[in-house]
Structures are given as C-alpha cells and as structure tokens.
C-alpha cells in the first residue's frame, strides 16, 4: 500500500505500447523454448519419444497460424503495415512472410533432428530450445525497424547457432565447426556494429524509418561516413548470408555441424540474413541505390561463380551442398541487386522455395549419413536407388530443383530472379547467373548418377538407410512444396508480391 502511494507521486516513465498480436509469433517461439526447458527441468522421467520435437513443431505451427492472422491485418488496405514496441519492430507483409519462412525452417529442421538426436545418443530438449530461440532471433531481424534491433536479432540468432553447431560434442568436426563459426561470427558482428555506428554518425539515427526520412529529406555534403557504413553492414549481412568473399566459414561449418543443424543454418539463418539485407538496403537505403548496387553486383557475381565452381571439385556431399547453398545465395543476391519491387518479390520467392529444397537436401543427407553422422562421401549415395528407391527419388527431386529444372519451384525461383535482373537492365548479371546454373547442373547430376548407378564389382554397398517418421514427414512436405509450387506457383507469387518491405518512421 505504501508502495502504491509512493508511485503515485513520481512521474511515470512512458511505457511503449506493445501490440500483443503482432509479437505473438515471437512470444510463442520463446515461450515454447522456456516451456521445453521447464518440462525437462521439472520432470524426472524421460518423456515419450519425440515429445520435444512435437512441441517445437506445434510452436512453429502456432507461430505460422498467428502470422496468418497478422497477414490478413497488414494486407488489409485500410489498416496496412504498422510499427510496434516504440518503433523497434515493423509489422508488414515482409515481416509476416519471414515469420512463416523461419518458422517453417524451425519445424522442418526439428522433424529431422528428432531421430538424429536419438541416433547420435544426444536426445534432450536443448537443441530444440536453441533452435526456437535462434529462430526467434531471426524473426526479430526480419521485423526490425532499427539497426540496433537488427543487431540484437542477429546476435540471438548467432549465439544459439554457435552452440548448435557444436552440439554433437563427441565429433571433433562438430566442435571445430562451432569454434570456427563462433570466432568468425564474432569477427563479422564487430563489422556490423561498426557499420551501425557509422550510419548513426551520418544520419543521426538508428531507426530505419528515421534514416530513410533523413536521407530523403537531406542531401549529404559528405557521403563518406554513410557509404563506409554501407560497406561494413554488407560485411555483416554477407557473412550470415554466406556471400563471397564472406563465405569462407560456410563449407567447414556446414560440413562439421550436425546435419539437421546445417539444414537450419542453410534455411532459417540465411533467410534472416536476407531479410535484414533487403529491408535495410533495398528499402531504407533506396535513395543511395546507385552506390551500393554495383557492389552487390560484384558480390553476386563472385558468389555465383565461386559457389558453383568450387562445388564441382568436392567429393563430400555435405560440403558440395554447402557450396551449392553459396551459389543459391548468389541467385538471391541477383534479386537483391535489381533493387526493384519485382526483385524483392523474386528474392522472397527464392528464399521460400530454397528453404524447402535445402532442408530436404540436408534431410536426405541426415538419413544417408547413418550413425555417427559420417557417411557423407559420394560413395554413400551409390546405388541408393536400389536400397531406397523412394528416398533416391525424393533426393532427385531436390537436386533437380536446385539445378533449376522446370516444373520444380527451383526453376521458377531462378526464372524470377533472372527475370527481375533483366528487367532492371542487369543483363550481364543475368547472363552469369544462367551460366552458373548450367555449370552447377553438372554437380547435381553427379549425385543423381551416383544414386542410380549400381556397382558391378559388388563394391561395398553404402550404409543401411532408415527413414524415420519425423524425417519422412519433413521430406514429404518439402517434396510436395517443391513440386506443387513448381507447377502452380500463383498463390506463392501472389504472397511474395504483397510482401514488399515497408519502412515506417518510428510511430512513437
């Protein structure tokens, strides 16, 4: 009572209004993570098989569900996009799109992780907790309307990922990859932070809306500080998106990390990086497009070429797919480089279809690798069509989709980004992208050939492959999406078209 009296006399701090519905996906994911910890701390007996995975999947599903409600709200012409939490988070079609993409990444990776953890004798809630928190960080990145919030999201995403990468602590490769990822990640975060400081110095704000407003209203006498900030921000985002030359960690970390974690990294983490890149560069720095576009152009070219060329020399499928994911990043950058609404929507379409493709690909790798997560050589895939025709067919679909064969979502994704580049008159880039897709087709074909070729000499057949339920569901979903969207993409294109990021001034 005395406390209440005391409070009455003091001027209250203005508390920011929080739109609960808008933050519901975040709260659900974080809440589920805490719930998992709580359950595992308070129960004495082991819960039934797969409980943790089911909770994770349910949480993601709920997050997607609330995102669906939000979607109706932000795409409603009368209400539209808005900011919340004192202008820290933007809720627009773009945010909602990425909430869905990242939640899907969580759900699918969790399904893969379920059996993997049991197989590797690592069962427990920790990986799921980290995955949920990391995903929440990614969503914060996508929603962020403030550079500091972007950084906050990035760090939440990354720190959880560092631990996840080293999760299989009995494998030296896993520990090594965690260490490398951590050291380099911290290194690149510093660049990002420094870049934010530069931008703040140049514009006087870290709020994206205010920055955009400032840049529109004023002409800078000296652009050095601002452009320096661009460069440093690009390093930070490029690192997370594994764009060349900031990709160096990717092959080692993707190869070393537990395969379901690799799937998560390649899908959710990369999606978050592109979300931030798109919102910050394409929308906020639109005014200075002519300055950063050429650099993105160069990075895209390097990424495309290095990704597809280096993939071919690999003999380890997981590493090959790491390079392939680098070249996919190059394709998404082609869409970013266009810096048009069409380019953004193409990049979004790419991110979504890529999420399914890559999770499926690493999902198959998870299954084929067998106990110990060690059979990743091409030889493990030899004659897979004999041992597991269904799995081989599934993998073929993913590989063909990655190669950009028509009637798969991968083809349309490539088609859209290249189309956007052509429309933005980046003919050379479109040409290089096409060439690189030709080169990388070769790589995917190698794996297909290995799967459909049996050894006459009766050479040692690859390991036995089991397809557990969870992974089966994940792969089934991924294949279904890849094929169905490959044939009937309108709805997804429609969503991507309406998910262009909006930059709103902080509506305090």
Near other proteins in 351-390, by CB under 8 A: 378
- Note whether 460 binds other proteins by CB under 8 A: no
Name the residue nearer to other proteins (CB basis): 209 or 256: 256
- Note whether 10 binds other proteins by CB under 8 A: yes
50-79 binders of other proteins (CB under 8 A)? none
- Alpha-carbon gap, residue 163 to 242, rounded angstroms: 19
Applying CB under 8 A, the span of 56-64, 154-162, 431-439, 466-474 interacting with other proteins comes to 431-439
Smallest distance from other proteins to CB 97, Å: 17
Smallest distance from other proteins to CB 447, Å: 10
- Alpha-carbon gap, residue 174 to 326, rounded angstroms: 20
Smallest distance from other proteins to CB 335, Å: 12
* Residue selected from 453, 467, 473, 483 as contacting other proteins according to rule CB under 8 A: 453
DSSP secondary structure letters along 176-190: HHHHHHHHHHHHHHH
Smallest distance from other proteins to CB 248, Å: 4
- Alpha-carbon gap, residue 292 to 335, rounded angstroms: 14
Burial of 423 (0-12, 13-18, 19+ CB in 10 A): middle
- Note whether 428 binds other proteins by CB under 8 A: no
Token pair recorded at residue 67: 């995102």
- Note whether 172 binds other proteins by CB under 8 A: no
Smallest distance from other proteins to CB 1, Å: 14
Q: In 322-457, at which residue ranges do the beta strands (DSSP E only) sit?
A: none
Which of the 8 DSSP states describes residue 287? G
Report whether 182 contacts 249 (CB < 8 A).
no
Name the residue nearer to other proteins (CB basis): 63 or 485: 485
- Note whether 1 binds other proteins by CB under 8 A: no
Q: How far is CA 323 from CA 15, 354, 443, in A?
A: 47, 14, 10
Name the residue nearer to other proteins (CB basis): 445 or 480: 445
Picking from 277, 275, 368, 278, the residue whose alpha carbon sits closest to that of residue 321 is 368
Name the residue nearer to other proteins (CB basis): 169 or 371: 169
3-state SS of 196-239? Answer: HHHHHHHHCCCEHHHHHHHHHHCCCCCCHHHHHHHHHHHHHHHH
- Alpha-carbon gap, residue 416 to 35, rounded angstroms: 41
* Residue selected from 132, 149, 450, 471 as contacting other proteins according to rule CB under 8 A: 450
221-260 binders of other proteins (CB under 8 A)? 222-228, 230-232, 234-235, 238-239, 244-246, 248-249, 251-252
179-208 footprint of other proteins as x/- string (CB under 8 A): xx--xx--xx--x-----------------
Smallest distance from other proteins to CB 381, Å: 11
107-126 binders of other proteins (CB under 8 A)? none
Name the residue nearer to other proteins (CB basis): 15 or 217: 15
- Alpha-carbon gap, residue 136 to 316, rounded angstroms: 32
Picking from 162, 103, 375, 406, the residue whose alpha carbon sits closest to that of residue 414 is 406
Letter string b/e over residues 224-233, b meaning 16 or more CB atoms within 10 A of that residue's CB: eebbbbbebb
11-30 binders of other proteins (CB under 8 A)? 11-13, 15
Report whether 266 contacts 138 (CB < 8 A).
no
Smallest distance from other proteins to CB 79, Å: 25
Name the residue nearer to other proteins (CB basis): 21 or 186: 186
Report whether 143 contacts 95 (CB < 8 A).
yes
Q: How far is CA 389 from CA 363, 381, 396, 405, in A?
A: 16, 12, 10, 21
* Residue selected from 412, 471, 477, 500 as contacting other proteins according to rule CB under 8 A: 412
- Classify 82 as helix, strand or coil: strand
- Note whether 219 binds other proteins by CB under 8 A: no
Which of the 8 DSSP states describes residue 46? P
Length of the chain measured in residues = 508
Residues 6+ apart with CB under 8 A from 412: 349, 353, 485, 486, 489
Name the residue nearer to other proteins (CB basis): 108 or 380: 380
Applying CB under 8 A, the span of 92-100, 137-145, 291-299, 329-337 interacting with other proteins comes to 291-299
Rounded to the nearest angstrom, the gap between the alpha carbon of residue 121 and the centroid of all alpha carbons in its chain is: 27
303-342 binders of other proteins (CB under 8 A)? 306, 309-310, 312-313, 342
* Residue selected from 62, 200, 452, 498 as contacting other proteins according to rule CB under 8 A: 452
- Note whether 505 binds other proteins by CB under 8 A: no
Q: How many residues bind other proteins (CB under 8 A)?
A: 88
- Note whether 484 binds other proteins by CB under 8 A: no
Smallest distance from other proteins to CB 246, Å: 5
- Note whether 435 binds other proteins by CB under 8 A: yes
């Amino acid at each position: 009572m005395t406390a209440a009296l005391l409070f009455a006399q003091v001027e209250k701090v203005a508390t920011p209004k929080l739109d609960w519905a808008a933050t519901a996906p975040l709260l659900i994911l974080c809440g589920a993570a805490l719930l998992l910890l709580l359950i595992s701390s308070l129960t004495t007996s082991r819960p039934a098989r797969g409980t943790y995975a089911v909770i994770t999947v349910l949480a993601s599903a709920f997050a997607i569900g609330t995102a669906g409600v939000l979607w109706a709200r932000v795409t409603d012409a009368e209400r539209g996009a808005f900011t919340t939490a004192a202008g820290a988070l933007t809720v627009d079609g773009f945010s909602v799109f990425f909430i869905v993409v990242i939640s899907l990444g969580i759900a699918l990776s969790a399904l893969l992780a379920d059996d993997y953890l049991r197989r590797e004798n690592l069962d427990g809630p920790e990986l799921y907790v980290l995955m949920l928190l990391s995903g929440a960080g990614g969503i914060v990145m996508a929603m962020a309307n403030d550079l500091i919030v972007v950084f906050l999201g990035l760090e939440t995403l990354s720190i959880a990922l560092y631990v996840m990468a080293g999760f299989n602590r009995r494998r030296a490769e896993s520990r090594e990859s965690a260490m490398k990822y951590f050291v380099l990640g911290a290194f690149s975060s510093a660049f990002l932070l420094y870049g934010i400081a530069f931008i703040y110095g140049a514009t006087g704000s870290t709020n994206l809306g205010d920055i955009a407003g400032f840049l529109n209203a004023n002409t800078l006498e000296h652009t050095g500080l601002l452009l320096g900030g661009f460069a440093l921000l690009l390093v930070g985002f490029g690192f997370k998106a594994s764009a060349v030359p900031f990709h160096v960690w990717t092959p080692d970390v993707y190869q070393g990390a537990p395969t379901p974690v690799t799937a998560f990294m390649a899908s959710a983490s990369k999606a978050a990086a592109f979300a931030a890149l798109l919102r910050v560069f394409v929308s906020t720095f639109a005014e200075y497009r002519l300055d950063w576009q050429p650099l993105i152009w160069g990075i895209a070219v390097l990424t495309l070429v290095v990704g597809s060329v280096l993939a071919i020399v690999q003999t380890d499928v997981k590493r090959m797919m790491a390079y392939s994911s680098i070249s996919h990043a190059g394709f998404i950058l082609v869409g970013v480089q266009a810096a048009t609404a069409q380019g953004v929507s193409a990049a979004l379409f790419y991110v979504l279809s890529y999420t399914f493709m890559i999770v499926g690909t690493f999902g198959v790798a998870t299954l084929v690798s067998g106990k110990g997560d060690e059979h990743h050589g091409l030889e493990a895939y030899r004659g897979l069509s004999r041992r597991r025709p269904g799995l081989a067919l599934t993998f073929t679909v993913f590989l063909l989709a990655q190669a950009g064969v028509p009637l798969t979502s991968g083809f349309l994704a490539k088609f859209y980004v290249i189309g956007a580049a052509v429309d933005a008159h980046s003919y050379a880039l479109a040409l290089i992208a096409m060439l690189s897709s030709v080169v990388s087709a070769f790589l995917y074909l190698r794996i297909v050939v290995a799967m459909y070729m049996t050894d006459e000499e009766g050479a040692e057949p690859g390991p036995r492959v089991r397809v557990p339920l969870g992974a089966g569901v994940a792969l089934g979903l991924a294949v279904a999406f890849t094929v169905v969207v490959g044939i009937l993409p309108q709805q997804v294109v429609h969503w991507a078209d309406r998910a262009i990021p909006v930059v709103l001034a902080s509506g305090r």
